[in-house]
Structure 1
């Protein structure tokens, strides 16, 4: 899932995470990658749901909205994991969508951009990559 291609540098500056990246505000310049607009962290811990069809990812997202997002709440990782196990077509779905820690440059373009731009504890809106449609839950960042 997305591990076969590196980001081509396309659109890196457009997806800035703003001031919500706690880890990104520390150690400025340590990684030497702060100019890309995605913060200074070099690793993200994330879960995701991957579906081939847009309709299916929208169903999964609606389930998250109905439970938490429409109330402004954050989706608990255990609940996100249940949705991932039910809807995800990625092998990681069996592990609740857990991708563990991965470095910048490991995942394909749009996936990496969204993963590094999503605030810790937040869930992304559905988006498309070369592998299908995704929803990401960012669980952590580190250098």
Structure 2
């Protein structure tokens, strides 16, 4: 009986710890939370100018209109090497954006990788925090993004 109880205890502990031996659990822990690109599996981007509002952008159907909005950002800040103040980006979004979010200064909320269409996601996740993207095209039209924060 004593011999039978020890292996049963070991199996029980293995199941409670994740269904495998300590060696298997260690290997699993090393991989947990990592994706193939080495980033966390739940990465979010905040495209915004207020810390309490998650994501913002300017969306225009015509390239000429988005270029006009971007020129205002360039003339006011970007040509001087400055970052666009969040409140000013919000004004540009409210004035130029044709997205319903334009009425709220371009607010899109927090979003994870995989939620937005290809080009939008790529630009959003590759724009440094505090920086403004150059105009780019997606399936919805032409955009400018202000990235203000990231969280996992």
Superposed CA RMSD in Å reads 16.7
Alignment check: 8 A CA contact 1:16 1:117 kept? no
Give me the TM-score of the superposition, normalised by structure 2. 0.70
Alignment check: 8 A CA contact 1:38 1:116 kept? no
**Structure 1 stretches of 4+ moved >6 Å:** 1-31, 37-41
Gaps of 5+ in 2: 47-54
Give me the TM-score of the superposition, normalised by structure 1. 0.74
User: How many angstroms apart in 1 are the aligned matches of 2:3 and 2:69?
Assistant: 23
Cα shift readout 1:27-66 (whole Å, capped 9, x = no counterpart): 9998855544888761011310000000000000000000
Within 5 Å, which residues of 2 pair with 1:78-93? 78-93=87-102
Shift of the 49–31 alpha-carbon distance from structure 1 to 2, 3 Å rule, reads farther
The structure with higher relative contact order (CA 8 Å, sep 6+) is: 1
1:82 shift after superposition? 0.0
Structure number with higher strand proportion: 1
Gaps of 5+ in 1: none
User: How many angstroms apart in 2 are the aligned matches of 1:100 and 1:135?
Assistant: 16
Alignment check: 8 A CA contact 2:14 2:20 kept? no
* Residues 1:53 and 2:54 aligned together: no
Structure with greater Cα Rg: 2
